Homo-oligomer: A and B are copies of this chain.
């Protein structure tokens, strides 16, 4: 994990700015012989795509992916498969309104990376946040789709939005299939109306809200993970915290563990029909950094969108005090589109650990 590369054996390098000609990703280390075409990737990009409901940015990007390398359609194989060579994918930017950003050219938007990029690099591509834009996450989703394809159907990686503002779902209503039927990826159909009202109010007010995303990875065998610094949960934490606007990550009972007693927190074991079972899952599917075979459960907190119409105080690049009110097209709750991004990062971590485990278990 370094700069723009993520992963060790299943390894992605992403590139591209919000308002450049295109963005993309190169995947290195993907095994050969895996059936793969654009059709395997596009549906996951469509889940993350802007413009799908009034609750996300109206920027109109088709987010059409093209595979430029690493896949070969051999007449002997009956369809395109990976060759073991790097898989390069590209997504063109088609609806970039760079003009919109002249107003912020010389301002540091509070809550954005404007000031820090200037501090680090001495300059910045201010158009839509440049490299710091959440648009970069499209490349993660494309790569995550390849990771899913490699992992196959026995491993399921699902995400859900479990809180918007201070309105949390009722866990008793949890139905995974409901996440596919509402614009919030909510597993609780009953809360959808409240959330719609809230987001409509926020949008009208020119404000925004934070949210919490929850991910479940099912079907993992016990044994994935690389103690002590490449622990499965440590890598998941780094992966999720690398998503724009994420401010917290927890595994299993997470922060609630602090208030627990040992006898409640330790997941007891019994024999089930197919081997060991755990009676609870406070550890979220990881012990000592290695998967237990239970569901991996990860939650992360997303801060409210920093681009808001409500006027805030800030500085310009000449250190003059001023104010800013961000117009243009923005998600009032970036947490929503963070759901498919979180899923993709989880898929990438699992794919990488799968190969790493194979690597360390070769004898």
Contacts and interface: CB of A to CB of B under 8 A. Distances in A.
Given A5-B229, A31-B362, A68-B22, A116 B290 contact: yes
Interface string A249-277: 11111111111111111111111000110
Contacts of A356: 9, 359
A269 B69 contact: no
A60 B221 CA distance: 38
Give the interface SS of chain A, mostly helix, strand, loop or mixed.
mixed
B301 A257 contact: yes
A81 to B, nearest CB: 7
Given A4-B28, A360-B84, A259 B166 contact: yes
Given A83-B124, A112-B287, A250-B248, A24 B207 contact: no
Given A111-B283, A227-B3, A230-B3, A83 B131 contact: yes
Contacts of A252: 247
A14 interface: yes
A335 interface: yes
Interface in A119-163: 119-125, 130-132, 136, 150, 152, 163
Contacts of A207: 261-263
A180 interface: no
Interface string A83-119: 1111110100000000000000000111111011101
Contacts of A152: 363
Given A24-B68, A230-B3, A321-B270, A263 B312 contact: yes
Given A111-B262, A306-B265, A74 B5 contact: no
A253 B247 contact: yes
A211 interface: yes
A289 B259 CA distance: 30
Interface stretch (A38-46, A48-56, A171-179, A236-244): A236-244
Interface size class of A (residues with CB under 8 A): 35 or more
A194 interface: no
Contacts of A255: 212, 247-248, 250, 255, 301
A209 to B, nearest CB: 6
Given A15-B86, A253-B247, A227 B132 contact: yes
Given A86-B15, A111-B262, A207-B262, A249 B228 contact: no
A50 to B, nearest CB: 18
A72 B126 CA distance: 9
A171 B350 CA distance: 39
A2 B13 contact: no
A222 interface: yes
Contact of A115 (B120, B136, B209, B222): B222
A233 interface: yes
A354 to B, nearest CB: 6
Nearest to A345: B229
B5 A304 contact: no
A227 B131 contact: yes
Contacts of A165: 258-261
A293 interface: yes
16 contacts: A4-B26, A5-B28, A26-B26, A31-B361, A31-B363, A32-B121, A116-B222, A117-B290, A228-B242, A247-B257, A269-B313, A271-B315, A283-B303, A354-B362, A356-B359, A359-B362
